[in-house]
Chains A and B, each alone.
Chain A
Amino acid sequence: MSSVQQAVVPAPAAAAPRRTAKGWAYLRYGAGKVGGAVISLLAVLVTGFFLFRLIPGDPVKTMTGGRPVSAGQLAAYRREFGLDLPMWQQFTDYCGKALTGDLGTSYQFRAPVLDKIAEALPNTLLLTGTAFVLYTALGIVLGTRAAWRHDRLGDRLSTGLALTLYSVPSFWLGLLLIIVFSVGVGPIPGLFPTGGMESGGEEGFAYVLDVAHHLVLPVITLVAVEYGQTLLVTRSALLDEMASDYLTTARAKGLRDDLVRRRHAVPNALLPTVTLIFVNLGRTVAGVILVETVFSWPGLGGLFYQALSVPDLPLVQGLFFVFATAVIVMNTLADLVYPLLDPRVGR
């Protein structure tokens, strides 16, 4: 062992310039990715503006909800929300404000869009964060097991169940869970609340328990429909890895089976899963719309659904931007982290 280390010791002098060169290459690569992400974000901003101006119907009429309003009042509303200005001026105003963090005022709630989003964001993060941790862990653990004992009964059942749940519409699963566990079927009483995030009136530790109680069903729904993909990717990555010679070497030196798996095979097999994990995190924030709608969870997804039905243009636009940002930021992070984990790519 020591002779090997001594042999390596003279190397740093030679390796140092190579290392900085690699560092520069990574920086350039990273700058390119971040630049691309910024361009994507700007494109989303522009798309958001034009896409939602196409909505038929007069937002001012929707706002007044069919109440009889005088022409003067209508004009006042128009002025208040800047709808009387020509389109190009609305666009430049919108861009200028968006860049300073002002996303406009919600028609429906008469409150800044940013405030509404800031209010709902922690709730969404609580729901998606909990579900994300659980389904990633579940997917990796079950995927590893399925690959390690592939083509056995356990693998077939586990992969089949994952594929089935992956094909189930999340909102339908949510509704079924509500019927079975909240409303109650036959003799079984409702165990969990049908929706919302809190019962109200609780404080301290009781409040935490109450929120956790409300969290159970939405989290189960999200985990059930999302873990399949992680399982499948982990499984096929590990299967690819299992034919490698270094695993034979590891076995030949007498390592126990689960050491070969945990120390040698799984770390390499997890590389493709890492990308998926980041992409999933971004997508889950956007994909939570249905689950939040079904469970009346007061998060971004529920807010999006409410805003769409009006339609509350500034709020829809702002949420569209937030959802797209979540996906773009996570994809960029995946691009940035991956070359650090796997030196074979991205340089």
Chain B
Amino acid sequence: MTTTTPPGPRALAWRRRGHSAARFWKQYRTRRAGVLGLAVLVLFGLIALTAPLTVGSDVQSVTEAPGQPLESPSGQFPLGTDRFGRGLLGLLIWGARVSLLVGLLAAVLSVSIGAVIGITAGHFRGRYATVMMRVTDWFLVMPTLVLAIALATVMSRSLGTIILAIGVTTWPTTARLVRAQTLAVESRPYIERAKALGGGHWHIMSRHVLPNVMPLVLAQTTLVISSAILAEATLAFLGLGDPTVISWGGLLQDAREAGAVSSGDWWYLVPPGIAIAVVALAFTLCGRAVEAVLNPRLGVAR
């Protein structure tokens, strides 16, 4: 930006965003647990994204399995083989793709529903808000897991079903948080100014409320991903996942069905569970760090 031409409003806005991002990162960096979580996530993200290059999609093939069924760990198969003779390390890496994808999409779906309902219920008040908050309260008291299992049971076995089942059962917490924040934002004078200048409902919600609610939504997304990954593993373990897709929860179900528990084949069971726990923990650590930076009053991670 040269000194002769003053920057336009758009450029100013971008510069302001850049500054607040830098400030956010500076504070986030001081939280060691959060940085550790982020590093782990980057590592797992890279592993999942590069899986087609490192292991290739033929690790899933049952007919061309390279080894004997249920081999113990060896030089050729560092984590042993599964019940079809496929290398478990390759399956674990391949499974990261599905587990992360389902976790991310389910969390995005859940938080989007929560944000839309929270913002509109906070903005429109009146009868609409009452009805929406009743619905939210009702979902809030439902046992989440039971409802998700029920939904996954009645729909066809696919990844979409799992994402939908997790997404539509976990949004109420977000809706409540976002609504409270929306009410707080809308009571500020500049909203009145925007209304006086002729700003409509859409303008106020998208230009004024949403940017203020966004940090909360981001922190919430990170935390929801962690529980979504656990929920995906749980549903897959109960046999409600897509049987043709490799995921960490699905590997655990395979292991149990192959009798790994009674024969003591710990190497079949341990790695997928550790992967789930590590990724879920990493998202939780990140979410807590983001929350602590954006909202010190919450005092979650002091």
- Across the interface, do B143 and A324 meet the contact criterion of CB distance under 8 Å? yes
Q: Is the interface of A mostly helix, strand, loop or mixed?
A: helix
- Across the interface, do A164 and B252 meet the contact criterion of CB distance under 8 Å? no
Given contacts A183-B261, A236-B300, are A44 and B142 in contact (CB under 8 A)? yes
Q: Which of the 9-residue segments A86-94, A97-105, A123-131, A173-181 touches chain B?
A: A173-181
- Across the interface, do B150 and A316 meet the contact criterion of CB distance under 8 Å? yes
Interface status of A290 (Cβ within 8 A of chain B) = yes
Interface status of B182 (Cβ within 8 A of chain A) = no
Interface status of B53 (Cβ within 8 A of chain A) = no
8 Å CB contacts to B: which residues of A136-179?
Answer: 150-151, 160, 163-164, 166-169, 171-173, 175-176, 178-179
Given contacts A236-B300, A327-B142, are A169 and B234 in contact (CB under 8 A)? yes
CB-contact partner of A239 in B238, B249, B266, B299, under 8 A: B299
Cα(A160)–Cα(B239), bound, Å: 31
Most buried by A among B145, B150, B302: B150
- Across the interface, do B252 and A171 meet the contact criterion of CB distance under 8 Å? yes
Cα(A267)–Cα(B139), bound, Å: 32
8 Å CB contacts to B: which residues of A99-131?
Answer: none
Q: Tell me, rounded to whole Å, the shortest Cβ–Cβ distance linking B165 to chain A.
A: 12
Cα(A304)–Cα(B256), bound, Å: 19
- Across the interface, do B143 and A185 meet the contact criterion of CB distance under 8 Å? no
- Across the interface, do B261 and A320 meet the contact criterion of CB distance under 8 Å? no
Cα(A52)–Cα(B281), bound, Å: 34
- Across the interface, do A167 and B141 meet the contact criterion of CB distance under 8 Å? no
Interface status of B284 (Cβ within 8 A of chain A) = yes
Q: Tell me, rounded to whole Å, the shortest Cβ–Cβ distance linking B163 to chain A.
A: 18
Cα(A194)–Cα(B263), bound, Å: 12
Task: List 29 A-B pairs, Cβ < 8 Å.
Answer: A36-B137, A40-B137, A44-B142, A51-B150, A51-B151, A52-B154, A54-B155, A56-B154, A56-B156, A164-B281, A167-B276, A169-B233, A171-B234, A171-B252, A172-B252, A172-B276, A175-B269, A176-B269, A179-B264, A183-B264, A194-B261, A232-B300, A236-B300, A239-B302, A286-B145, A290-B234, A320-B146, A320-B150, A326-B143
Q: Tell me, rounded to whole Å, the shortest Cβ–Cβ distance linking B166 to chain A.
A: 14
Residues of chain B touching chain A, judged by Cβ–Cβ distance below 8 Å, are 33, 137-138, 141-143, 145-146, 149-151, 153-156, 226, 230, 233-234, 237-239, 249, 252, 255-256, 261-264, 266, 269-270, 272-273, 276-278, 280-281, 284-285, 298-300, 302
Q: Tell me, rounded to whole Å, the shortest Cβ–Cβ distance linking A56 to chain B.
A: 8
Cα(A323)–Cα(B143), bound, Å: 7
Which A residues are CB-close (under 8 A) to B300? 232, 236
Which B residues are CB-close (under 8 A) to A35? none
